[in-house]
Amino acid sequence: LQLFSLYRNGYQTSGPAPVGTAPENIPSGVDVFRTIPYLFLFPSLQIFGCWVWILVAATTVHFPLLQGWVMYVSLTSFLISLMLLMSYLFGFHKNFASWRILDSLYHGATGILYMSAAVLQANATIRSETETSPLYYQLNVAATFFAFVTTLLYILHAFSNYYQ
């Protein structure tokens, strides 16, 4: 009862932030590109994640089941991460207290999905070494490399955001 009256009178204890407000240390605007867990969002989204589906789309897809999953994961995570980046830039996250948990869960789940896509792309690359032209094999190798780098970036973002 005494804590309630202290809080009601404007004296806040060192407890958790009130429900409905985001933690103060989540950046917005261009500060997103300067802080560590959110710094991983741009390279995984624009550079490496985008290159995965561009390189797979540039090949003649001989293994539609394998590379179809790679295209689905990379394109879906690209679009959702783009919306997440826009929400950080415009500050939509400031209205929600559980934004950090949502962000960590999304990047963790996407890291797991990207790992499955990277393994399937590696399998398609190994199989395409003898069955396709050398150019398509090289494009598949590059797509595999970028898929594993993107996986690493998503997992790093999830863990650094969770442990912060």
pLDDT single digits (tens) 25-37: 666 566 666 666 5
Is residue 56 within 8 A of residue 143, CB to CB? The reply is: yes
pLDDT digits (tens, 9 = 90+) for 11-55: 444 555 444 444 456 665 666 666 665 666 666 666 788 889 899
The share of the chain scoring above pLDDT 90, in percent, equals 25
pLDDT of residue 2: 46
pLDDT digits (tens, 9 = 90+) for 58-97: 988 888 888 899 999 999 998 888 888 888 778 776 766 6
pLDDT of residue 36: 60
pLDDT at residue 142 is higher than 90: yes
* DSSP, residue by residue, 70-109: HHHHHHHHHHHHHHHHHHHHHTGGGG-TTHHHHHHHHHHH
CA nearest neighbour of 105 among 36, 152, 154: 154
Written as six digits, the tokens of 7 are: 């809080």
Cα separation, 151 vs 142, in Å, equals 14
Beta-carbon contacts of residue 70 (< 8 Å; ≥ 6 apart): 52, 53, 56, 117, 118, 120, 121, 124, 143, 147
pLDDT digits (tens, 9 = 90+) for 86-109: 887 787 767 666 777 888 888 899
Cα separation, 25 vs 88, in Å, equals 12
Neighbours of 148 (CB within 10 A): 19
